[in-house]
Amino acid sequence: MLCDIARLAQLVERFIDVEDVGGSSPSPRTKNTMDLEKEIEALKARNRKVEEEKSWETSLFRKAVVAVLTYIVVVLFFMTASLPHPFLSALVPTAGFMLSTLSLPWFKKLWQKSRTR
């Protein structure tokens, strides 16, 4: 039993010593420069797209469009429900939306500061 454990220990030790050694078989093919350049360009294109999407998501124009669409939908809902003053009443949820989206960056900075302390 002790002899088996010693042989196993020798095998493990030998494996660790020769694990990364190349031997007689050829090394795996590495990527050539052209492949790497293509990958880098693909990453740059993806990053440009992500930045463009982020820019749209945080733009004031997008927030205004969503606010106008919110106002229209709420007016239509209030009119369908026969609620009084649908045009005036629809301003409340629209203003709430605008207030929340415009104040989110401020709250985000506040939250980030509290996490770094």
pLDDT in tens, 88-110: 999 999 998 888 888 888 888 88
> Is residue 27 in a domain?
no
The pTM of the full predicted model, rounded to 2 decimals, is: 0.53
Of the pLDDT bands very low, low, confident and very high (cuts 50, 70, 90), residue 78 is very high
* Range(s) of the domain holding residue 102: 53-117
The CA dihedral of 87, 90, 94, 95, to the nearest 10 degrees, is: 80
State the chain's mean pLDDT as an integer. 82
> Is residue 24 in a domain?
no
Domain tally, the chain: 1
The pLDDT of 26-53, averaged and rounded, is: 84
Cα-Cα end-to-end distance for the chain: 58
Structure tokens at 27: 């090394």
pLDDT for the residue 57 = 86
> Is residue 19 in a domain?
no
Q: What is the DSSP string of 16-54?
A: HHHTT---SSPPPPPPPHHHHHHHHHHHHHHHHHHHHHH
